[in-house]
Amino acid sequence: MMVQAGLIIAVTAAVFNFGVIHESNGSVSHRFVLHNDNATAVRICQTYPSCECTTIACDTGWVAPHDSVAVDVTFAPYNRGGDFYETASLVVASQSDTAVVRLTIEGTVVTSAETLMKQYPVRRGNLRLTADTLNMGEVRRGE
C-alpha cells in the first residue's frame, strides 16, 4: 500500500521479476492492479516509463472509491542483454491531492546470437570483440 499526499493506492506487488527472458522471444508484459482505497475517485493523469524500452498501458478514466484499475507494463528486450531494472511512474490524482506510484519490472535478458554478432563483430577463437585492433597509446621500451 502506498500513501502519498493523502491518497491511498494499494498495489498487490509493486515489483515484478520476469526472471530470465530471451531477446529472441520478443517483448514481455506484466499486469499490475492498483486499488483505490480512498473515499473519493482518483485517476491516472500521466505515465512516465524509465526508458524507451518500457511502455505503459492503462485506463486514464476515473476510478471509483474501492475500485481497481489494471496497468500493463511492457519491456522490449531488443539490444539490452544482461540484467534490467525499469520503472513505470504513474501520476495519480483526486480532486484535491496528487501522488506518484512507482511500479518496477526487472529480470535478465539473454541476448540473441544476431545481436551478439552486431555488438561484437570480431571473433578471435572463443572471444568476441568490438574491434580487431587495440590502441594502447604510446608504449616506450624499458618503461
C-alpha cell of residue 81: 542483454
pLDDT in tens, the chain (143 residues): 555 556 788 888 899 999 999 999 999 999 999 999 989 999 999 999 999 999 999 988 899 999 999 999 999 999 888 999 999 999 999 888 888 999 999 999 998 777 777 778 888 888 878 888 878 888 888 76
Give DSSP secondary structure letters for 8-61: EEEES-SEEEEEEEEGGG--EEEEEEEEE-SSS-EEEEEEEESSTTEEEEE--S
Scan for cell 492498483, then name that residue.
Answer: 34
Scan for cell 491516472, then name that residue.
Answer: 44
DSSP letter, residue 96: S
Q: What is the pTM of this model?
A: 0.79
CA distance 34 to 141: 67
- Using left for φ > 0, alpha for ψ between -120 and 50, and beta otherwise, residue 134 falls in beta
Question: What tens digit of pLDDT does each residue of 65-84 get?
Answer: 999 999 999 999 998 889 99
